Amino acid sequence: TSKLADAREEGDRIRAEAEEVRSRMSTELESARNDVRARAVQAAHAQAEADSNSALVEEMQSRLSRMGARAAATSSDLTSKLADARQEGDRIRTNAEVAQARLTAELETARRNVRARTAQAAQAQAE
């Protein structure tokens, strides 16, 4: 009976240790499951943020592309307007030079006429 009691005691001890190991393993398994859930949530958030950032990058690239196209069109338009303004400036300068030459000629003619009349007046007064 002593052997039987010892065997029962040993069996109880083994069962208690097994129960303790099972309980500890259950706790570790639950902890691991919770960790996996938390990491899955973190991964989902990270994926959502990555998707959002990707969409933002695409939107910014699209905006930059549109802005580049507008800038190119504006630059082309301004280049054309600058060329037109230069032509207009050249035309105005040419007209001003022609007008200045004409006024210089008219002024010289007027000076000659004044000299001639002055000479005529002096001659008329002398006579």
Residue for token pair 């000076």: 111
Could you report the per-residue pLDDT of 42-66, keeping only the tens digit for each? Answer: 999 999 999 999 999 999 999 999 9
Under the banding of pLDDT at 50, 70 and 90, the label for residue 36 is: very high
How confident is the model at residue 1, as a pLDDT? 76
Q: What six digits make up the tokens of 83? A: 């060329």
Q: Which two tokens stand for residue 86?
A: 């230069």
Does any domain span residue 103? no
**Look-up: residue for tokens 């507008």?**
70
- What are 104's two structure tokens? 């210089």
Residue 18 reports pLDDT greater than 90:
yes
Evaluate whether residue 21 is within a structural domain: yes
Domain carrying residue 29: 1-89
**Residue 56 domain-assigned?**
yes
Mean pLDDT in residue range 14-33: 97
Q: What is the DSSP letter of 127?
A: -
Evaluate if residue 17 carries a pLDDT over 90.
Answer: yes
Rounded CA separation 9/5 (Å): 6
Compute CA distances 13 → 1, 4, 7, whole Å: 18, 14, 10
Residue 104 domain flag:
no
pLDDT at position 3, please? 92
113 part of a folded domain:
no
Does any domain span residue 59?
Answer: yes
pLDDT for position 107 = 98
- pLDDT tens for 72-116 read 999 999 999 999 999 999 999 999 999 999 999 999 999 999 999
Whether the predicted pLDDT of 127 surpasses 90: no
Domain count for the chain, please give it: 1
**In this structure, is residue 105 part of a structural domain?**
no
